[in-house]
């Protein structure tokens, strides 16, 4: 088929015309929600990558004599029960959650996309059975699934990534499935079939690029929930393990004493989690808006 | 549908609790125990039988009220689970009684002030608190109301024999994080249902035929707007239960969530399995009740089924 048969795809001379992706980027950069969220997320990424070089103290170094001192000039956020500097720990504490949560999200996206493409493309009995199972699966709270799996398999970062990744995969699969159901009726899919392209080629080469927008939106939303889940699991002792300065973990080891008024040992970690979760959700909201305008 | 979920959950619980941990006898007796002792224990626990037989007898016993014997307490699991479930119900009930009317009210107010500052505040505020993990809002609320203001107790452990109001007083703080997580969802659903109903032809007709605004809202808009909200409230039971595990741990409350948590920590598999399966049953029942309520409130479905 020669290019002249498809005049639609010819580049238009109008220079003001942007590509669809340029359009999305343009509206992202004009969205206050997105930029605010991005600033927060980038701040924590920088802390995760370079934090240990600029924090005033070693986040793991304990100093029992200086334990539980309230915030002061030499310890901005005070010290915890082992005399570790809370400010340094909060800054460096973003590292593990920002490794585990994105990896879990990526795993969920890959598994969910593959599954969604297959059930959306073949429909019929495969779709019926798999969809019912996925719905049933989604009804179970992630914390419960994670607790069960981690107790059975033992705690490690890999387990947490796999468990959260697999429990989020059905949600992404559902999104991809409904996008594929709409796409598979379009002419370009019929054309691929007429060319005798295999099912795999049609799914991954023809349809996949056209369902990227909903996948991207769902992935950013899932990232927020992945951070939620990792933080919660770490708080419960089933996620990131000591001696990591992880936020959820720090809260779990210090909250027993807040009745004694040692608020600084947990407040800053809680605020850090809150800011990261809200930041990611603002980004997700911006991405959603950019694709749906 | 709920039955499929329950079945799947039971298989997962069974796999997680009885198959994946490997040799149960070895796990209980430790690495240095005599192999014959391990075999004997495995035999008495019944874990040396084929998997299908084990699963079948486990479910059969569970349905007859025998939830197994706790590895840790060496006592039947059922009384622990029943007590804990009762406590959790109290906590969940307080959260629900607070959040359903306030969430709906928030959504309705937001919709009636569509795109005005009040709408923005309710929508954005609701969304922000909804995305936060329960233990994070819990910690912040404990600091504000328990540590700084000293208005509310920070642990949900009331003195023995406390009356209804004392118990309620102890349950307010733990129910607040659950309230916040649910508030955003319920308010958002109520808001979008309201906006859709306000925009509809029947509302316009009602206004144009001269009905007072109050009557339009009560009789025409609300009745249609709140149907989807009811479905959401039911699906939120799942999240509520997930939240209970965390909140009960944070507030040291003896509910089903902390039972699961403690059992998970102590590798007390029969207790863990019973706890999780019980939660699954509660969830399935809640979904059924919601379906029923929905059809009672929505004559269109009821009539459709009769035809």
DSSP B105-117: HHHHHHHHTTTSH
Q: Which residue of B has its CA nearest to A276?
A: B132
Checking if the pLDDT of A39 tops 60, the result is: yes
Asked if B249's CB is within 8 angstroms of A133's CB, the reply is no
DSSP helix/strand/coil, B212: coil
Mean per-residue pLDDT, A119-141: 83
Residue A8 located in a structural domain: no
Sort out which chain A residues have CB atoms less than 8 A from B272's CB and list them: 148, 151
- Select, from the ranges A91-95, A254-258, B224-228, the one with the highest average predicted confidence (pLDDT): A91-95
H helical segments located in chain A: 20-29, 32-54, 86-92, 94-122, 124-138, 142-153, 157-183, 187-194, 199-201, 212-235, 247-254, 264-292
Mean pLDDT of B243-251: 87
Number of structural domains (chain A) is: 1
- Which pLDDT score, from 0 to 100, does residue A147 have? 81
In this complex, is the C-beta atom of B21 within 8 Å of any C-beta atom belonging to chain A? yes
pLDDT of residue A1 exceeding 60, the answer is no
**Does residue A71 lie within any of the structural domains?**
no
B274 Cβ under 8 Å from any chain A Cβ: no
Q: Collect all residues of chain A within an 8 Å Cβ-Cβ radius of residue B181.
A: none
Residue in B128, B261, B279 nearest the CB of A236: B261
Interface test with A, best of B10, B130, B136 (most A CBs within 10 A): B136
* pLDDT above 80 for A141: no
Does the pLDDT of residue A5 top 50, yes or no? Answer: no
* A22 in any annotated domain: no
More confident residue, A275 or A289: A275
Task: Identify the DSSP state of B57.
Answer: H
Radius of gyration of chain A (CA): 23
| Chain A residue with Cα closest to B6 | A136
Mutate to test the interface with B, among A78, A134, A141 (most CBs of B within 10 A): A141
Residue A97 lies in a domain: yes
Q: What CA–CA distance (Å, rounded) separates B200 from B231?
A: 21
Q: Which has more confidence, B56 or A10?
A: B56
The CA distances from residue B39 to A73, B21, B57, in Å, are 62, 16, 20
Q: Which residues of B touch A133 (CB under 8 A)?
A: 4, 8
Sign of CA dihedral A3, A5, A8, A12: positive
For A79, list phi and psi in degrees, rounded to 5.
-125, 155
CB-CB neighbors (< 8 A) of A237 in chain B: 265
How far the first Cα of chain A sits from its last, in Å, is 34
Residue A15 lies in a domain: no
First to last CA, chain B: 23
* A55-69, A101-115, B285-299: range with highest mean pLDDT: A101-115
Residues A239 and A241: their CA atoms lie apart, in Å, by 6
Q: With CB atoms and an 8 Å threshold, state whether A151 touches B127.
A: no
pLDDT of residue A102: 96
CA distances from B262 to A168, A221, B102, B248, B251 (A): 25, 31, 33, 11, 14
Residue A20 placed within a domain: no
Structural domains of chain B ordered from first start: 1-64 (no CATH), 80-299 (1.10.3720.10)
Closest residue in B to A238 (Cα) is B265
- Touching B: A residues 211-230, CB under 8 Å: 224, 228
Residue A285: CATH number of its domain: 1.10.3720.10
Please check whether residue A145 touches B, CB under 8 A: yes
Tell me which residues of chain A, numbers 94 to 133, contact chain B at a CB-CB cutoff of 8 Å.
132-133
User: Rounded CA gap, B268 and B76, in Å?
Assistant: 12
* pTM metric for this prediction: 0.84
Q: What is the ipTM of this complex?
A: 0.82
Identify whether the C-beta of residue B46 lies closer than 8 Å to the C-beta of residue B54: yes
Note the pLDDT of residue A293.
66
| A170 domain-assigned | yes
Residues of A in contact with B13 (CB under 8 A): 148
What domain range is A266 assigned to?
A: 30-56+86-291
| Nearest CA distance, A97 vs chain B (angstrom) | 14
Q: How far is CA B227 from the centre of its chain?
A: 20
Which residues lie below 8 Å from residue B217, measured CB to CB, with a gap of 6+?
A: B112
Mark yes or no for CB contact A251/B139 under 8 Å.
Answer: yes
Q: Kindly report the nearest CA distance between residue A240 and chain B, in angstroms.
A: 15
Give the CA count within 13 Å in the CB-facing half-sphere of B302: 8
Q: Give the residue-averaged pLDDT of B48-52.
A: 76
Given an 8 Å threshold on Cβ–Cβ distance, is B4 in contact with A136? yes
Q: Give, for A133, the enclosing helix (H) or strand (E).
A: helix A124-138
d(CA B144, CA B128): 18
Position B198 confidence tier, pLDDT thresholds 50, 70, 90: confident
Check if A274 contacts B (Cβ < 8 Å). yes
Q: Does the residue A3 lie in any domain?
A: no
Cα separation of B116 and B127, whole Å? 17
Mean pLDDT of chain B: 81
CB A290 within 8 A of CB A34: yes
A255 vs B239: CB contact, 8 Å cut-off?
no
- Spatial CB neighbours of B106, under 8 Å, sequence gap ≥ 6: B122, B126, B183, B186, B187, B190, B191
For residue A232, which residues of chain B lie inside 8 Å, CB to CB? 133-135, 246
- What average pLDDT does range B270-284 have in this prediction? 84
Cross-chain CB nearest to B264 (options A142, A145, A147): A147
């Amino acid at each position: 088929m020669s290019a002249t048969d498809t005049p639609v795809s010819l580049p238009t001379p109008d220079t003001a015309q942007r590509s669809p992706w340029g359009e999305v980027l343009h509206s992202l950069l004009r969205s206050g929600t997105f930029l605010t969220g991005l600033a927060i997320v980038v701040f924590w990424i920088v802390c995760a990558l370079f934090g240990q070089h600029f924090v005033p103290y070693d986040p793991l170094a304990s100093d029992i004599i200086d334990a539980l001192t309230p915030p002061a000039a030499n310890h901005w956020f005070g010290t915890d029960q082992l005399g570790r500097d809370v400010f340094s720990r909060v800054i460096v504490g973003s590292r593990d959650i920002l490794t585990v949560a994105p990896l879990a999200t990526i795993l969920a996206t890959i598994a969910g996309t593959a599954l969604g493409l297959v059930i959306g493309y073949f429909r019929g009995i495969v779709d019926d059975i798999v969809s019912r199972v996925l719905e049933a699966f989604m009804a179970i709270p992630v914390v419960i699934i994670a607790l069960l799996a981690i107790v059975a398999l033992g705690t490690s970062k890999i387990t947490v990534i796999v468990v959260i990744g697999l429990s989020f995969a059905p949600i992404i699969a559902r999104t991809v499935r409904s996008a594929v159901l709409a796409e598979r009726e379009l002419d370009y899919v019929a054309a691929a079939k007429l060319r005798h392209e295999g099912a795999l080629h049609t799914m991954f080469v023809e349809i996949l690029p056209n369902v990227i927008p909903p996948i991207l939106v769902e992935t950013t939303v899932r990232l927020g929930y992945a951070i939620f889940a990792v933080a919660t699991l770490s708080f419960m002792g089933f996620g990131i393990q000591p001696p990591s300065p992880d936020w959820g973990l720090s809260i779990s080891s210090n909250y027993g004493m807040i009745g004694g008024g040692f608020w600084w040992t947990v407040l800053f970690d809680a605020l850090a989690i809150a800011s990261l979760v809200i930041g990611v959700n603002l980004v997700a909201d911006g991405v959603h808006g950019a694709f749906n305008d | 549908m709920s039955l499929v979920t329950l079945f799947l959950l039971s298989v997962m619980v069974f796999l997680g609790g009885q198959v994946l941990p490997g040799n149960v006898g070895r796990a209980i007796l430790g690495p240095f125990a005599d192999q014959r002792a391990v075999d004997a224990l495995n035999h008495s626990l019944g874990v040396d039988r084929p998997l299908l037989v084990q699963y079948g007898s486990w479910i059969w016993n569970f349905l007859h009220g025998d939830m197994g014997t706790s590895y840790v307490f060496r006592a039947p699991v059922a009384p622990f689970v029943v007590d804990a479930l009762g406590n959790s119900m109290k906590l969940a009930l307080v959260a629900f009684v607070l959040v359903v009317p306030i969430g709906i009210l928030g959504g309705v107010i937001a919709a009636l002030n569509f795109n005005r500052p009040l709408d923005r505040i309710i929508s954005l505020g609701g969304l922000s608190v909804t995305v936060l993990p329960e233990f994070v809002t819990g910690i912040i609320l404990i600091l504000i109301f328990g540590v700084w203001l000293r208005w509310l107790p920070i642990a949900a452990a009331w003195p023995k024999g406390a009356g209804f109001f004392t118990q309620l007083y102890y349950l307010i703080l733990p129910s607040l994080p659950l309230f916040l997580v649910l508030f955003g969802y319920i308010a958002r659903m109520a808001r979008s249902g309201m906006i859709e109903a306000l925009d509809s032809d029947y509302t316009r007709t009602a206004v144009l035929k001269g009905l007072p605004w109050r009557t339009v809202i009560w009789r025409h808009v609300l009745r249609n707007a709140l149907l989807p909200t009811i479905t959401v409230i039911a699906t939120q039971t799942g999240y509520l239960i997930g939240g209970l595990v965390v909140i009960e741990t944070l507030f040291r409350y003896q509910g089903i969530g902390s039972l699961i948590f403690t059992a998970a920590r102590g590798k007390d598999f029969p207790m863990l399995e019973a706890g999780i399966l019980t939660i699954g049953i509660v969830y399935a029942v809640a979904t059924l009740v919601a379906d029923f309520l929905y059809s009672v409130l929505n004559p269109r479905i009821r009539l459709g089924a009769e035809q």
